[in-house]
Chains A and B, each alone.
Chain A
Amino acid sequence: MLTGPADRAREEPAARRRRRPGKGTLVLPPVLFVAVLLLLPVAFITLYSVGLRTNIPGVPTAFSLSNWSDFLTGGGSAFRGRFVYSMEIALLVSVAATLAAYPLAYFLSFVARRRRYALLLVLLAPFFTSYLLRVIAWQIILNNDGVVNSLLWTLHLRPKGSAISWLIYSNFSVALVLFYTWIPFVSLPIFVVLENMDHRLQEAAADLGASRAATFWRVTVPLSLPGVIAGFVFVLIPTTGEFITPLLVGGPNNQLFGNSIQAFFGDTPDWNYGSVLAIALIVVVIVLTLVFGRFLQTDLRTETRPEQ
């Protein structure tokens, strides 16, 4: 995972060493920085979740798993339900985005050969604009008097003032916006793996008499699977913690698990219970990362440099 021309010198017969710029101790400030600002907060969240700390003055602090048992087994079923709902939406969006992104990546790598990097940039450009603004834009489009509805009214396809109800503040709107947001991002790992594939393999298959469809399903797809899974995981993990989209285009029944966490720390502060939810989410994400970890290997070898 960590190799480069600099490291080839390191792995040669132990006799070869290079005096590198910098010392190993230079990692300490950044590592400490992350430790204090990420590990420590997570540690605190854990403490809150088991009652050892609390934000409510006057309440005694003692180790207690009552909030946990409530969430996992007891009357906290509303949040469990929302947890399950969030995972369902996240899975749905991830699968849909991955399936939709594959042909895009395929197009770039196999059809648009010469301009593929420029077109990739076109595909990715919206991803680099403000996420919040994009969600607000969708709100404008899907709103009860938004672009879609008012267009239908103007074209007399619907009586004026009658809005399509499921267009906004619904499962549809939340799923659609999430899907929209992540498509460009998912195409990237699939594109990378298709690019790195030796295209002569497909030629060889054709030489051996395979039809186009057979070549695709039996050569291209299996070999591109690591990239596909990487893309899938790239979407799945952040989407489980998503909360901004439901705030703007979701109704009360479409709030996701992240919104619950938010509520416990904002509107009706119960930091202890909120911490339980937060830890639950962190655990899920860590499990997903560990399970799919090898597909997330970042190649820090060399920068990918598109050919001129």
Chain B
Amino acid sequence: MRLTSRLGSAGLAVYFWAFVVFLFAPLVVLLIFSVNKSATPTLPLSGFSTRWFHEAFGNGELTGALLRSIAIALIAAVLSTALGIMASLGLLVLRGRAAALALTVLLLPLVVPYICLAVGLLILVQEVGARPSLVAVILGHCVIVLPFAILVIMPRLRSLDPAMNEAAQDLGASPLAALRLITLPLLAPALVSSGIICFVTSFDEFAIASFLAPSGQPTYPVFLYASARTPALLPEVIAVGALIIAGSIMLVVLAEGGRRWAERRLVGQTAGSGPLTAPDSEQPATFAIGNG
């Protein structure tokens, strides 16, 4: 007996695909109206035009905001990935209460609402006598994406055979060289994932940026929000938005494909199984035994 009847399976499939349509509908709407001639996103469509793209990229404020967000996201991604590596390496060694405490603190940003963190940072900036700045935005973004970096890097790190690090030292590498030559290259897929997640999250972050970006230097989400309430700017916003949406989807597909490719290349797999881990007694070597 199948777990779902034919009718049930068909029904579930319909439900699933209906939801997929529901989920993609707004994205498709953006794509459609980005090439719509009229300045108001309304039906019926008034014809094809790429004018909004031209106007968007001719808009200095918009491109400025875009570039600002890209720069901030890049820096935040690199910085938080580095911090994530440090945190993961440290957590690997720590035991018991110290480890639990450290992990709790490091994952706390996942729980605190962004609006609270944003106002908190605003207060902090004021208290130390500084002014809202893009540096503050970068730091704020680092805090919120650091947990993601750790959540991506740490499992990968834990799955590495610790004997490899010992072997590297046994063969004459200093602990630092072992880290550089063995551990980090093997972490590469996780580092890439971490970078992408951190970048995307930072790029789209609104709360902290809205409070900490100096006026006149908005990040892209801040600019977007302001423009969304200005009908005149809406079509440009939609045009760039469509590009970003298309880009994000492509990024997701590429990231997944790229990750799988990197895994295969990393260990030269022909059989498609996972990277080498320490074989324990329950797990005899799974490879075909050749002629030795």
Give the chain B neighbours of A41 by CB distance below 8 A. Answer: 117, 120-121, 123-124
The stretch among A63-71, A72-80, A104-112, A166-174 that forms the contact with chain B is: A104-112
Chain B 1-40 residues near chain A, CB threshold 8 A: 1, 3-5, 8-9, 12-13, 15-16, 19-20, 22-27, 29-30, 33, 40
Measured CB to CB, the nearest residue on chain B to A53 is B127
A303 and B156: CB pair below 8 A? yes
Tell me whether chain A's interface is mostly helix, strand or loop, or mixed. helix
Measured CB to CB, the nearest residue on chain A to B2 is A212
In the complex, whether A196 has a CB less than 8 A from a CB of chain B is: no
Report the minimum CB–CB distance from A297 to chain B (whole Å). 11
| Bound complex: CA A136 to CA B227 (Å) | 10
In the complex, whether A157 has a CB less than 8 A from a CB of chain B is: no
Give the chain B neighbours of A28 by CB distance below 8 A. Answer: 90
| Bound complex: CA A221 to CA B90 (Å) | 39
Give the chain A neighbours of B169 by CB distance below 8 A. Answer: 19
In the complex, whether B71 has a CB less than 8 A from a CB of chain A is: no
Measured CB to CB, the nearest residue on chain B to A274 is B119
A5 and B161: CB pair below 8 A? yes
Choice from A7, A29, A139, A247 contacting B158 with Cβ under 8 Å: A7
Report the minimum CB–CB distance from B133 to chain A (whole Å). 14
A31 and B29: CB pair below 8 A? no
In the complex, whether B98 has a CB less than 8 A from a CB of chain A is: yes
Chain A residues touching B, range: 35 or more
| Bound complex: CA A302 to CA B253 (Å) | 22
Chain B 27-60 residues near chain A, CB threshold 8 A: 27, 29-30, 33, 40-44
Chain A 181-213 residues near chain B, CB threshold 8 A: 183-184, 199, 202, 206, 212
Report the minimum CB–CB distance from B107 to chain A (whole Å). 8
Beyond A121-B256, A150-B42, whether A265 also contacts B106 by CB under 8 A is no
Q: Which 8 A-B pairs have the closest CB atoms?
A: A241-B113, A41-B120, A22-B89, A4-B158, A27-B90, A137-B26, A26-B90, A150-B43
- A contacts, CB < 8 Å to B: 2-10, 18-31, 33-35, 37-42, 44-45, 48, 53, 55, 100, 103-104, 106-108, 110-112, 119, 121-126, 128-134, 136-141, 143, 145-147, 150-151, 153-154, 180, 183-184, 199, 202, 206, 212, 215-216, 237-238, 240-241, 243-244, 247-248, 258, 261-262, 265-266, 271, 274-275, 278, 281-282, 285-286, 289, 298-303, 305, 308
In the complex, whether B278 has a CB less than 8 A from a CB of chain A is: yes
A6 and B92: CB pair below 8 A? yes
A129 and B15: CB pair below 8 A? no
A298 and B151: CB pair below 8 A? yes
Beyond A21-B165, A30-B106, A104-B16, whether A138 also contacts B121 by CB under 8 A is no
Beyond the given A21-B89, A26-B90, please list 20 additional residue pairs across the A-B interface where CB-CB is below 8 A.
A2-B91, A5-B159, A6-B159, A19-B166, A23-B89, A30-B106, A30-B150, A38-B120, A110-B4, A111-B9, A112-B16, A121-B256, A129-B248, A131-B204, A136-B237, A180-B23, A244-B207, A258-B115, A275-B119, A301-B158
Give the chain B neighbours of A104 by CB distance below 8 A. Answer: 15-16, 19
A300 and B151: CB pair below 8 A? yes
Give the chain A neighbours of B206 by CB distance below 8 A. Answer: 131-132, 244
A34 and B244: CB pair below 8 A? no
Choice from B3, B19, B93, B158 contacting A24 with Cβ under 8 Å: B93
| Bound complex: CA A195 to CA B203 (Å) | 32
Q: Identify the interface centre among A103, A108, A140, A258: most chain B CB within 10 Å of its CB.
A: A140
Measured CB to CB, the nearest residue on chain B to A302 is B159
Give the chain A neighbours of B238 by CB distance below 8 A. Answer: 136, 140
